[in-house]
Structure formats: structure tokens, C-alpha cells
Amino acid sequence: MRNGIHPEYRPVVYQDSSTGDAFLTRSTATSRESIQWEDGNTYPLIKLDISRYSHPFWTGGARVLDSAGQVEKFRRRYGTRGAGRI
């Protein structure tokens, strides 16, 4: 591998802007902002619009569609065929 052509891979803090929750991971992302983490070190801060802390799927706020109603609507409109017929 050639030296000097790859971005620096270092610890970075990602923070959900809507909930304020943050997590530390490694990344090549850069930022002008920084934050002091729980371990006393200062890391670059990347703010996210949405993360696992605010996404409806992970928070349990995801909507479940009523597919049974759609199936019944289809059967009323088009009827059902016998099981043995092709």
C-alpha cells in the first residue's frame, strides 16, 4: 500500500442531533467541531440527523400496515379461485 494517499482512520464521536445521544467509533470522517468524551480525551464530533436513537424502526415507533385489509379488499374485488385449479 502506498503511503500518504489514504485518509486518517481515527476515533470519532457521532451525535444524534435530535436526541443528543452519542457514540464513539472509528472513521475517516472529518469535522471542525470536537467534544470531550467520557474517557477524558477530545475527539472530532460528527452530528447526525437520524441514528438508531431516533429512527422509528429502532425506537418502536414504526407503523405497521394492515395488510389483511388489503387482502380482503382484493378478494372482494376479484374473488377467490379453487385450490385445485391452475
CB proximity list for 16: less than 8 A, separation 6 or greater:
22, 48, 50, 51, 53, 54
**Distance in angstroms (rounded) separating the CA atoms of residues 17 and 64:** 26
**The three three-digit cell numbers of residue 18, written as one number:** 435530535
Q: pTM for the full model? A: 0.62
Q: What pLDDT is stored for residue 76 in this prediction?
A: 83
DSSP reduced 3-state for 36: strand
Q: What pLDDT is stored for residue 67 in this prediction?
A: 66
CB proximity list for 1: less than 8 A, separation 6 or greater:
none
Each of the 86 residues of the chain gets a pLDDT tens digit; together they read 688 898 889 999 999 988 899 999 999 999 999 999 999 999 999 999 888 788 776 666 666 666 667 778 888 888 876 655 55
Q: What pLDDT is stored for residue 71 in this prediction?
A: 76
**The three three-digit cell numbers of residue 15, written as one number:** 451525535
Q: What pLDDT is stored for residue 66 in this prediction?
A: 64
